[in-house]
Amino acid sequence: MDQRQTAIVDNPDPSQSLGQISHLALDIGGSLIKVVYFSRNRDSSVDHKGESSSNDNPGVFNGNRKHTVLKGKLHFAKFETSKINDCLEFISSKKHHLGGFQHHENPAKDKKFIKATGGGAYKFAELFKEKLGIGLDKEDEMDCLVAGANFLLKAVPREVYTYVDGHKEFLQIDHNDLYPYLLVNIGSGVSMIKVDGDGKFERVSGTNVGGGTFWGLGRLLTRCKSFDELLELSHRGNNRVIDMLVGDIYGGTDYSKIGLSSTTIASSFGKAISDNKEIDDYKPEDVARSLLRMISNNIGQISYLNALRFGLKRIFFGGFFIQGHPYTMDTISVAVHFWSKGEAKAMFLRHEGFLGVLGAFMSYAKHSLDDSVVNQSMQSLVNGSYASDTNYNPQNGDWSDNESIPCSLYTA
């Protein structure tokens, strides 16, 4: 039997310690490893609910079936891919709690699997087996991105926001008016996916100028040691020091005939041609700023052009690159607004960096339960549990990406 269908916690032993961790999933990208795992609330009781079968899937649900409801939270973590040992240690420390990963059909085999997506699920499969004795159950990267995005868009309130003139505005997406949309996931590289429904999508474009370019080039140019440091640098910088503006070419005036103001960037890094300076003569923060603007603007433009191809008005941006960074979001928003003449809108997701790994996480359920039931149950329960979540303040809305999502799992 396909092991995929058995990765769900099945009637967990109530004697297990509270706060138990289960259902860990991974998204191993070129730069970052994203982790999602579920922990039961320490005070949560285990409910057993009967649920009628769906006649659409008689092979799966023939007769009444009991679902176990686990209340708890989804937690998020990330590691640099180059420091994968940190991630292995982290998983190892949780491992003996991972009751949910045992092979359902034959627990005696003691063979554990975790859902994993991203290229690293292939690249590091052997390493996980060797070091942890855990198999990686590979899920397709695009499938996972779309599943994760749809989950967030449909199930998590105040997930989506626009960023205009320095202000976040949270939006409630009408579930009946969600599709089609363009999903732009900015990881090391960028994928652009036209999404038409649950599991209905096409990767229509992408670009190799993404988060990895920002981080990699930025590191070479500024010598800074981390992505966060680079973002922080860019926050303080001034791109006009190195970028060649329209005004620099036109002697301070606009080129108004074609709608280019004097402050429009004509050529990123163009001033470095004639400045007669070496890299160390520039402030790292100015270099970081120019780089961030170049890449954000470029992604915004290519995204818009792809949205235009298919008449998509909404573009959702995800991936670790954005990090809720004001300047990044502003540049992307302005680019989409500028190129679309206000027709298309850039939207951001609070859990932007975790789309893929959420999709991988959801695939635990996908393979053992009917899809519609999974989605319905995860949504309604995630929705339902928000009301009682004391950590979450909808008025503030500025919930950090790594913060947990209160959630309940239906397990069969």
Residues 73-132 close enough to bind its own copies by CB under 8 A: 80-82, 118-120, 122-125
The only residue of 88, 246, 365, 381 in contact with its own copies, by rule CB under 8 A: 246
The only residue of 114, 146, 242, 292 in contact with its own copies, by rule CB under 8 A: 242
Q: Of residues 128-167, which lie at the interface with its own copies (CB under 8 A)?
A: 140-142
* Using rule CB under 8 A, residue 317 touches its own copies: no
Part in contact with its own copies (CB under 8 A); list of ranges 53-61, 298-306, 373-381, 394-402: 298-306
5/264 with CB nearer its own copies: 264
The DSSP output letter for 59 is T
* Using rule CB under 8 A, residue 302 touches its own copies: yes
Q: Of residues 190-209, which lie at the interface with its own copies (CB under 8 A)?
A: 203, 205, 207-209
Q: Of residues 263-282, which lie at the interface with its own copies (CB under 8 A)?
A: 264-274, 278-279, 282
Strand segments (E) across 124-180:
134-138, 160-164, 167-171
Report the alpha-carbon distance of residue 238 to residue 229 in Å, rounded. Answer: 16
Closest CA to 154 of 410, 344, 331, 382: 382
Site string for its own copies, 361-380 (x = CB under 8 A): --------------------
List phi, psi (to 5°) of 393.
Answer: -115, 100
Cβ 122 to its own copies shortest distance, Å:
5
* Using rule CB under 8 A, residue 44 touches its own copies: no
Residue 207 contacts residue 190 (beta carbons within 8 Å): yes
The only residue of 22, 185, 213, 385 in contact with its own copies, by rule CB under 8 A: 213
Cβ 90 to its own copies shortest distance, Å:
18
* Using rule CB under 8 A, residue 244 touches its own copies: yes
Residue 306 contacts residue 205 (beta carbons within 8 Å): yes
Report the alpha-carbon distance of residue 189 to residue 118 in Å, rounded. Answer: 12
* Using rule CB under 8 A, residue 320 touches its own copies: no
Residue 22 contacts residue 115 (beta carbons within 8 Å): no
The only residue of 58, 305, 380, 384 in contact with its own copies, by rule CB under 8 A: 305
42/83 with CB nearer its own copies: 83
The sign of the CA dihedral 83, 84, 85, 91 is positive
29/72 with CB nearer its own copies: 29
Cβ 206 to its own copies shortest distance, Å:
8
3/205 with CB nearer its own copies: 205
* Using rule CB under 8 A, residue 248 touches its own copies: yes
Cβ 114 to its own copies shortest distance, Å:
17
Report the alpha-carbon distance of residue 193 to residue 51 in Å, rounded. Answer: 35
The DSSP output letter for 333 is H
The only residue of 6, 22, 31, 377 in contact with its own copies, by rule CB under 8 A: 31
The two beta strands, 345-349 and 405-411, are: unpaired
Binding-residue total with its own copies (CB under 8 A): 73
90/250 with CB nearer its own copies: 250
The DSSP output letter for 390 is T
* Rounded CA Rg of the chain: 23
The only residue of 60, 77, 217, 241 in contact with its own copies, by rule CB under 8 A: 217
Provide the token pair at 146. 């779309």
Strand segments (E) across 259-378:
265-267, 314-318, 345-349
List all residues 6 or more positions away from 409 whose beta carbon is below 8 Å from its beta carbon. Answer: 9, 23, 38, 69, 70, 72, 365, 378, 381
The two beta strands, 314-318 and 181-186, are: parallel
* Using rule CB under 8 A, residue 257 touches its own copies: yes
